[in-house]
Amino acid sequence: MEGSFDEAVNGVDGALHIASRICSKWNKEFRFRFDASQISQLNESHWSDLDYCKRFKKGSYNQKSGDCPDGSIEKAAPKPRSPAGRETNAPRSAKFTSVRLKSFTTAKHTSKDVLEYVHSDLWGSLHVTPSLSKCQYYISFVDDFSRKVWIFFLKTKDEAYSKFVEWLAFVENQSGKKLKALRTNNGLEYCNKTFDDFCRAKGIMRHKTCPYTPQQNGVAERLNRTILEKVRSLLSEMGLKESFWAEASSTVVYMINRTPSTPLNFRIPEEIWSGKKPEYSHMRRFGCLVYYHVDQGKLKSRAKKGILMGYPHGVKGYRIWSIDERKCIIRKMLFSVKAYYIRM
């Protein structure tokens, strides 16, 4: 709403007064409409006070009457600052309501070798559909230098420590390097006496985020989003139930480690980690129909149908969901057919 000159200005001894109630806009600023003849009547003191009036906050005047205390705009104007730069008598509401979180800048990582810096995060909740193995959580580890990803599935959060110890022993033995620093959030699965004592004994530096700032663990948080987006796509495309999310997540991580990475200038994480080029000829489409070998007798069929679920570690075979047995098995696949939508 806009007020007229006569409603807003009442010149008495060169001072500016509010004579009637004036509504404010959404930005809580007072707007006045003046004619050219009226503007010429304002002297220098009017313009100074009018500037205060335009910036006059809603919480600084009487809501019922719409007037300033004692009818004077100067008493409600912003207080001058002290020589030290601090406000002498600023309203408390402005201090508590005007705080804004600054935007985060792009993080810069300077790791020179594998395991110098590792990002980790735990995802899941009690509302997540249990997987085929009754897991509702997973913990992930991302090497900052190679961007290789490891994922472990958990039934409860307190398994995070045992999975970390298992992962640490594996990667240090395979790479011949020692973990230098671990970046995590402040979750209790990471911040507990057992976890802290173990890292202290191993000489592992802990880097933790500030409370309510997941942006400081952006690599691990962005990995969670990437994994879940691909998992939803795989499950939706093949028409599988949500209980297959762990198998889909494991396959997604397997593909991420063998896919060109943008932070690495489109190099392959698996190649940087192991120094060997990964093999792709064995890869098949997730969820496609496959036939695996069985020995049921001389006159019975020698193959059964299954659905490809992924690639187990350390086995020259495939993880397959047996349609007849209703469970996951590991077999050497005979052949696969063209993928089609399977409703489970």
Strand partners of residue 330:
319
E strand or H helix that includes residue 38: helix 36-39
Non-local CB neighbours of 59 within 8 Å, separated by 6+ positions: 91, 93
Q: How many CA atoms lie within 13 A of 85 on its CB side?
A: 0
What are the angstrom distances between the C-alpha of 269 and each of 26, 44, 46, 261, 275?
A: 51, 68, 68, 7, 10
Max distance between CA atoms of the chain, in angstroms, equals: 114
pLDDT of 17 > 60? The answer is: no
Q: Which fold has domain 118-274?
A: Nucleotidyltransferase; domain 5 (3.30.420)
Q: Which residue has the higher pLDDT, 95 or 26?
A: 95
pLDDT digits (tens, 9 = 90+) for 246-256: 999 999 999 99
Residues 305-329 have a mean pLDDT of 90
Residue 331's pLDDT band, with cuts at 50, 70 and 90, is confident
- Say how far apart CA 236 and CA 232 lie, in whole Å: 6
Q: Is the dihedral of CA 317, 320, 323, 324 positive or negative?
A: positive
Q: 165 CB contacts (<8 Å, ≥6 apart)?
A: 198
User: Which of residues 96 and 211 earns the better pLDDT score?
Assistant: 211
pLDDT tens sequence across 119-175 = 999 999 999 999 999 999 999 999 999 999 999 999 999 999 999 999 999 999 999
Task: Tell me the three-class secondary structure of 217-284, residue by residue.
Answer: HHHHHHHHHHHHHHHHHHHHHHCCCHHHHHHHHHHHHHHHCCCCEHHHCCECHHHHHHCCCCCCCCCC
Give the confidence band of 83 by pLDDT, cuts at 50, 70, 90: low
**Using an 8 Å Cβ cutoff, are 344 and 320 in contact?**
no
- Report the mean per-residue pLDDT for the chain: 78
Q: Above pLDDT 90, what percent of the chain?
A: 50
Spatial neighbors of 323 by CB under 8 A, at least 6 apart, are: 304, 305, 306, 307
CA contacts within 13 A on the Cβ side of 60: 24
pLDDT in tens, 25-68: 444 444 445 455 555 555 544 544 444 444 444 444 444 444 44
70 CB-near residues (< 8 Å, 6+ apart)? none
Count each helix (H run) and each strand (E run) in the chain, helices first.
9, 12
Average pLDDT over residues 300-310: 88
Per cent of the chain over pLDDT 70 is 67
* Nearest C-alpha neighbor of 249 from the set 214, 221, 225: 225
The confidence score (pLDDT) of residue 211 equals 86
Pairwise CA distance, residues 288 & 310, whole Å = 10
CA-to-CA distance for 161 and 139, rounded, in angstroms? 10
Lowest mean pLDDT across 14-23, 79-88, 123-132, 281-290: 14-23
Cα dihedral 248, 254, 257, 261 sign: negative
Q: At what angle do helices 193-202 and 160-175 cross, to 10 degrees?
A: 20
pLDDT higher than 60, residue 181: yes
- With 0.75 as the threshold, say if the pTM is over it: no
